[in-house]
Amino acid sequence: MRSDIPKPDSETNKGPMMAIIIVVVVFLLGYFAYMMFIPQQVENMNKTENIQPVEQKVKDSI
């Protein structure tokens, strides 16, 4: 195709629009994966049943 012939509008606008749509879709998929994964991480961090309390051993300095 010769470069001096202008492309139809549908061909000209397809590239940037597809790139933008792909970026938005990837962002949304990443965001949903993040929202599904992070609450489980936080719940695991907040579970304190398996953490033993640390006994403070204070030595008398007198």
The pLDDT of residue 28: 95
How does pLDDT run across 18-53, given as a tens digit for each residue?
Answer: 999 999 999 999 998 888 887 777 777 776 666 566
The pLDDT of residue 29: 94
C-alpha pair distances (Å), 59 with each of 55, 56, 62? 12, 10, 9
Which pTM does this prediction carry? 0.43
The pLDDT of residue 61: 63
Backbone angles phi, psi at 60, to 5 degrees: -75, 130
Total number of residues shown for the chain: 62
Tokens of 20: 């933008």
Residue 16 reports pLDDT greater than 70: yes
